[in-house]
Each structure stands twice: as C-alpha cells, then as structure tokens.
Structure 1
C-alpha cells in the first residue's frame, strides 16, 4: 500500500468517511479484499459512483490510467465478494463486472461526473478497457 493510500485511509477513518485534498467532495469508500494469491486482506481507497439504489455502487478500475488493471480488480472479481467501508459502516458486497452496453452507460456517467476518468481512458486506449464493477450490499 502506498503512503498516499495510507494517508487517505487514515483521514477517511478520522473523519467518518470524508477526505479532503483532490478528493474533497468526491465520494470515497475503502474496499476490503483478499489477495487472490497471498490471502492477505488489503484495503484500497476508491472513488465510486453512487447508484439510485442505495445498496449498489460502482467502482472503476482505472489504475490511474496504467496499461494494466490493478490487483484489487483481480482480487474482487475472482472472489465474487468483498467488503465496503463507507462512512463509519463496513458491510459485505457481491461483485459483478459490467459488460457492453451496461458498462458503456455507467462509464458515460462516470466521465461526466469525474472528467479525470476520461483522461485515464485516453491513456489506456488500444491497450485495455477500464473495468466498471458493481458492488451490491450482500
């Protein structure tokens, strides 16, 4: 885990789920997942897109526009489950990767609300499609 992630996690927990800096005003969760190879529990701060259904949220596997997907993506999609820390609550979720038109629809909303994701998409063009994953309260 990076120092930046550690700082975000600490701030998130100190402020009941609120963070500042570049993430001020943007919804953030802490995604708890197990390493698929190591079995070690990891915590990853994530920007998310809320859904009309309060039990559903979407996370994007942008990995800052890197050419490869982040480890958390493989961990949660292979496990089919994870846990979400939101505010002061932690709860289990099921995991489903969105495909085709469903992904395109959600992705358009992501880019509209958080334009930096459009920049990440440009960086990964022709290399990979940035995954969009639905997390549903179990």
Structure 2
C-alpha cells in the first residue's frame, strides 16, 4: 500500500500538476456517478466533495470534484483553490465568487451550502491548519504568484 507521505511527495511535483487536473476529476466524477454518490476515489486520501455551483458566465450548473478539509465540530468545510499549483485560479472559484449559494455532495448526501471567500487573519489561520492537514499546499503556493483562494462552505438553513 502506498503511504500518505509518498502520495504527498508525488502530489507536490510539477509533473503531477500537469497530469492530475486532467485525470483525477474525470475519474472522480465517473466513480461518484456509478456509486450514486457513495464513493469518491480521491477521498481515499483526502476528504472530498462534489461541488455543484452556478457557472459565473454560463449560469449553468457546474459539477467539480474537490478535496476539502472538514472543520472541527463538523458542519463546515474548507475548499482550496490550489489548481494543483498551476498559474490561474480554478474556474470553480470564480463560480463561487459570482454565485456563493451552491450544493455539495458529501458522503452521498446533497447539502445546500453558502461559500465565503476567506481573507486576512481568518485566511491566515485556516492556511496554517491546512498546511498541517495536507503539506503539499505549501509547494502549490510557492509555484504561483497568486494567493490561493480559500472558501468556507456552510450549510444553508432549510426554508
């Protein structure tokens, strides 16, 4: 069995950043669909969600498998716009900025959520926790000039 440290080391490389965005989301979407939301392959290493957000330009629903960090106490998650350490912000972050109300599939349950972009001291505190949770995020940040976007997503109250 491959160890977590080995996976962290591989996922910090530029080669991984070139290949992973084309392979991992497609596999995650396929397995998630086949298992009716019960399995997300990438979640075998990191917790994961399927984010359904409204496209910033298209206005259409966009489904994106994402790693996440559940916050202590449950009930909220942190989404990291690392884009595997590639230059631009991932499209899903622009979607959440334009339309913060979204939905996640978490362990087979669909949950309506609202996203908030973290900034300042709050972002700094969460970033520190993230680096303990998944150290490769430090390598991703070092490779890019942009500040990696962090979102806290919380369930929306039922109507």
TM-score by length of 2: 0.77
Unaligned runs of 5+ in 1: none
Larger Rg: 2
Q: Please, what is the CA RMSD of the aligned residues? A: 1.8
Residue 148 of structure 2, aligned match among 112, 130, 134: 130
Alignment of 1:39 onto 2:59 = yes
**Aligned equivalents of 2:134, 2:32: Cα separation in 1:** 20
Q: Is the 8 A contact 1:121 1:130 kept in 2?
A: yes
Query: CA shift at 1:2, angstroms?
Result: 4.4
**Aligned equivalents of 1:96, 1:83: Cα separation in 2:** 13
2:130 — aligned with what?
110
Residues 39 and 2 of structure 1, relative CA distance in 2, 3 Å threshold? farther
Unaligned runs of 5+ in 2: 1-20
Aligned ranges 1:30-109 → 2 under 5 Å: 30-109=50-129
TM-score by length of 1: 0.88
Mean CA deviation greater in 27-36 or 7-16: 7-16
Q: Is the 8 A contact 2:113 2:155 kept in 1?
A: yes
Number of aligned residues: 134
**Aligned equivalents of 2:87, 2:62: Cα separation in 1:** 22
Deviations 1:101-133 (A, max 9, x none): 110111111111111111101111xx2110110
Q: Is the 8 A contact 1:17 1:29 kept in 2?
A: no
**Aligned equivalents of 2:23, 2:54: Cα separation in 1:** 20
Runs of 4+ in 1 over 4 A off after TM superposition: none
Give the SS at the match of 1:135: strand
